[in-house]
């Protein structure tokens, strides 16, 4: 009887807070400027050293699908960050977030503006000298409900409102031709020059290679997958001669050409911008400096350097 009771207790604990198939989806929204999504419900390491449990980061107002909970953590999927490799199927990025970083909502909001400054102050009143209510990271989305004196009025959590300068945000549905979109993507990526690399980073403070790409596109009104491998999966393959500003350069794992481990964002000529790795900062680099070969020379040897394959891809149609 004790054994049966123990088994029942274990099953109950495992099932507590778990969403089963057929149950209606419950949604959370992030209520802090930037929050970590962890592989396990454990606190992260301080600083920007490599932390393999740090999966990604979510921004204020990002929508999360609730999957369960454990003590002070919610198990979630970040619906706005698509990925494939965790379960070999497209889904929101899975992981755990501290409970004080998100709250439940009744329905999914619709956002129509996005922050285009690396950090933008959400103000109490439509005035540059007003109190700052929130420091919003680049790529943060809001629902705009009005305008006054060069400011957008936006909805905040808890039925509050705030104001953001029109110079620091843009409408997500603003008409732009392809060249304008490319210029915007490059401009947004360059905001991070000098920012530290952080594994899983995707906020104004620090980024990893694919987080940099994800935010540059998101701030331009374009949602793309979260990780380098998935960005490669989603991109249209192109050749080096076809590269345009905002296109992507991918680098495979050594000895495994079908596993992508790094992504860079092309600027012009021989230049690209990248978040190179732990202990380094976002910088503008070039083919000769990074690979010891020009673009033309890379082509002649099949775009393979030191056992790694270089690919070129396009996410803009």
Q: What is the pLDDT of residues 186-217, one digit of tens each?
A: 999 999 999 999 999 999 999 999 999 999 99
Give me the domains of the chain, ranges plus CATH numbers.
Answer: 2-105 (2.30.30.40), 113-171 (2.30.30.40), 178-314 (3.90.1720.10)
Does the pTM surpass 0.95? The reply is: no
Q: What is the pLDDT of residues 32-68, one digit of tens each?
A: 999 999 999 999 989 999 999 999 999 999 999 999 9
What's the rounded Cα separation, in Å, for the pair 201 and 211?
Answer: 6
- Gyration radius from the chain CA atoms: 21
Q: Across residues 63-85, what is the average pLDDT? A: 97
Q: What is the pLDDT of residues 93-126, one digit of tens each?
A: 999 999 999 999 999 999 999 999 999 999 999 9
Residues sharing a CB contact under 8 Å with residue 210, sequence separation 6 or more, in sequence order: 226, 227, 228, 231, 263
What's the rounded Cα separation, in Å, for the pair 53 and 45?
Answer: 9
Residue 272 has pLDDT above 90, yes or no: yes
Contact 280, 145 (CB under 8 A): no
Residue 158 has pLDDT above 80, yes or no: yes
Residue 18 has pLDDT above 60, yes or no: no
Contact 118, 77 (CB under 8 A): no
């Amino acid at each position: 009887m004790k054994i049966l009771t123990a088994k029942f207790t274990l099953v109950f604990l495992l099932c507590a807070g778990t969403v089963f198939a057929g149950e209606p989806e419950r949604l959370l929204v992030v209520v802090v400027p930037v929050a970590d999504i962890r592989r396990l419900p454990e606190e992260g390491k301080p600083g920007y050293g490599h932390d393999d449990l740090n999966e990604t980061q979510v921004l204020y107002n990002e929508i999360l699908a609730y999957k369960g909970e454990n003590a002070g953590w919610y198990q979630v999927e970040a619906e706005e960050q698509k990925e494939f490799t965790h379960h070999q199927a497209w889904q929101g990025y899975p992981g755990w977030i501290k409970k004080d970083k998100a709250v439940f909502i009744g329905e999914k909001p619709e956002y129509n503006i996005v922050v285009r400054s690396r950090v933008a102050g959400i103000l109490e009143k439509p005035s540059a000298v007003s109190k700052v209510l929130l420091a919003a990271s680049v790529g943060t989305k809001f629902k705009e409900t009005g305008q006054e004196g060069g400011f957008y009025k936006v909805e905040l959590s808890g039925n509050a409102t705030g104001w953001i300068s029109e110079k620091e945000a843009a409408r997500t549905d603003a008409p732009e031709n392809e060249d304008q979109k490319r210029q915007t993507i490059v401009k947004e990526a360059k905001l991070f020059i000098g920012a530290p690399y952080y594994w899983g980073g995707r906020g104004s403070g620090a980024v990893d290679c694919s987080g940099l790409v994800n935010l540059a596109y998101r701030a331009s009104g374009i949602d793309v997958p979260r990780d380098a491998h998935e960005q490669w999966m989603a991109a249209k393959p192109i050749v080096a001669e076809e590269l345009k500003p905002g296109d992507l350069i991918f680098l495979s794992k050594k000895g495994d050409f079908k596993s992508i481990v790094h992504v860079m964002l092309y600027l012009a000529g021989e230049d690209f911008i990248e978040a190179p790795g732990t202990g380094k900062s976002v910088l503008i680099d070039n083919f000769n400096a990074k690979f010891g070969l020009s673009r033309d020379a890379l082509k002649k040897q099949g775009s393979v350097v030191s056992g790694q394959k270089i690919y070129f891809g396009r996410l803009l149609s």
